[in-house]
């Protein structure tokens, strides 16, 4: 998930796809943190609660930041009629520049 999210953040020019890719990247990081927290616990006992609490807090913060980013993107679309930040390169639905 981390690799796929990082690939999407780097390669996609559209802001909405970047936001979704960043969420995928964050989900992979939270999954890794959860696995690390679970492996730290003894056999038969639960894992360390501090990393688990950090993961839950991170999920809430990621949700709030995604909602804010989508609200800003919607506002940008309402003002400009497009979501591209570069006025010289209009991007088509496939991600390639329109001829």
**Is 90 exceeded by the pLDDT of residue 89?**
no
Name the more confident of 83 and 54. 54
* Mean local confidence (pLDDT), 69-79: 89
Name the more confident of 84 and 57. 57
| Averaged pLDDT score across all residues of the chain | 80
Give 5's contacts (C-beta < 8 A, 6+ positions apart).
21, 22, 23, 24, 25, 26, 27, 28
Given this model, what pLDDT does residue 62 score? Answer: 92
Report domain extents, the chain. 2-80
pLDDT-derived band at 39, boundaries 50, 70, 90: low
Given this model, what pLDDT does residue 79 score? Answer: 82
């Amino acid at each position: 998930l981390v690799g796929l999210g990082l690939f999407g953040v780097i390669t996609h020019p559209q802001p909405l796809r970047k936001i979704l890719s960043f969420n995928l990247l964050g989900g992979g990081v939270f999954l890794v943190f959860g696995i690390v927290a679970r492996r730290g616990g003894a056999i038969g006992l639960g894992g360390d609660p501090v990393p688990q609490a950090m993961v839950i807090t991170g999920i809430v913060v990621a949700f709030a930041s995604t909602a804010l980013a989508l609200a800003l993107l919607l506002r940008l679309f309402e003002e400009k009629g497009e979501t591209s930040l570069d006025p010289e390169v209009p991007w088509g639905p496939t991600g390639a520049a329109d001829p």
